[in-house]
Amino acid sequence: MISVPVTEASQVAEARRRATGLAQGLGFGETATGRVAIVATELSTNLVKYGASGEIILNAFEDETGTGVEILALDKGTGLANLADAMRDGHSTGGSAGNGLGAVRRQSQAFDIVSWPGKGTGILSRLVANPTAKDADAAVQPFAGAVAVPLRGETVNGDAYCIRRRGTGWTIIVADGLGHGPEAAKASQEAVRLFRKYEHEAPGNILAAVHAGLGHTRGGAVSVASYEPDKGLVTFAGIGNVAGAIVGHGETKRTVSLAGTAGHVARRIQEFEYPLPVGGLFVLCSDGIGTSWSLEAYPGLVGAHPSLIAGVLYRDFTRVRDDATVVVIRGGSS
């Protein structure tokens, strides 16, 4: 993923350049790339005018909703007192490429926004190369979303994650390579490779295979989880400080991860089971994210797009001195 700080006008062009470059790399044509440019410019301009500690996060997505460019705009400004007014056509941010957030929503195939007085704003826009009427409806919400950003100044992320669907269930790994930079990335990417090889096994067995296979790397913290919708259970196994949490019924329950370093030291590997309520969330965070978060502090956020939930947690709880990854997965609907 690409992170672009946007705190002054000169950074708007950089955000637009990086966004359009991502779109072109995905095969977007001139018109579709132009839509990406409008959204990136509008959201970045908003950050300069109204936000504080603004940041644009860019990602290529491929899921059940399609393939395209995902743009997150995050700030710690005063927040929006009235979302309806902010979205109203003709409500311009002044001097930007479009007509405010209404223009962003019109260009997007999926759009979501959250804001709280005194707690800033988060906006998500997803754009595909060749939108259809179905895309415009944005009726299909992805079951998962993530933010994964390297330590500022690094060119690679020492964290890695992978989610694999199994019918209406899923299996996930988040690996946090020891330290940061290329060697940390090698460890986490090898963990994902091994995960893909053993993805149909139980989480404890997958984690054991990852632990056995990381000995030639610097190792790291690794957590694996799977969800069985028929049982309504998440099975979790972790070594080190990749932290999991179940969010549902207005409360957050943390998962248990055992001490050690995958690939080097792990006294034991143990699975734990946790009920996942219908419509609840499972969240996995690398050590670059603080553990004191609670979605109850953000009214309405639990119902937002999973990528936007991940973005808000990243915005407010990143430790700054490490790679940071947040993955959010929504439980079954029935």
Q: What is the pLDDT along the chain (334 residues), one digit of tens a residue?
A: 999 999 999 999 999 999 999 999 999 999 999 999 999 999 999 999 888 889 999 999 988 778 899 999 999 998 887 777 677 655 544 444 446 788 899 999 999 999 999 899 999 999 999 887 555 445 567 889 999 999 999 999 999 999 999 888 999 999 999 999 999 999 999 999 999 999 999 999 999 999 999 999 999 999 999 999 999 999 999 999 999 999 998 899 999 999 999 999 999 999 999 999 988 999 999 999 999 999 999 999 999 999 999 999 999 999 989 999 999 999 865 4
Domain assignment of residue 162, given as a range: 144-330
Rounded Cα–Cα distance for residues 50 and 33 (Å): 26
pLDDT at 332: 64
> In the listed set 105, 137, 169, which residue is the last one of a domain according to the structure?
137
Element of type H or E holding 182: helix 182-197
18 and 71 both lie in a single domain: yes
Q: Are the CB atoms for 209 and 226 separated by under 8 Å?
A: no
As for how many domains the chain has, the answer is 2
173 shares a domain with 125:
no
Q: Which of 120, 137, 154 is the last residue of a domain?
A: 137
**78-113 burial string, b = 16+ CB within 10 Å, else e?**
bbbeeeeebbeeeeebeebbbbbbbbbbebbbbbbb
pLDDT at 90: 53
pTM, full prediction: 0.93
Give the pLDDT confidence score for residue 98 in this predicted structure.
Answer: 45
Q: Which amino acid is located at 87 in the chain?
A: M
pLDDT of residue 137: 46
Whole-angstrom CA distances from 179 to 260, 270, 288 are 15, 25, 10
**Domain check: are 152 and 299 in the same one?**
yes
CATH number, domain with residue 61: 3.30.565.10
Give the pLDDT score at 334.
43
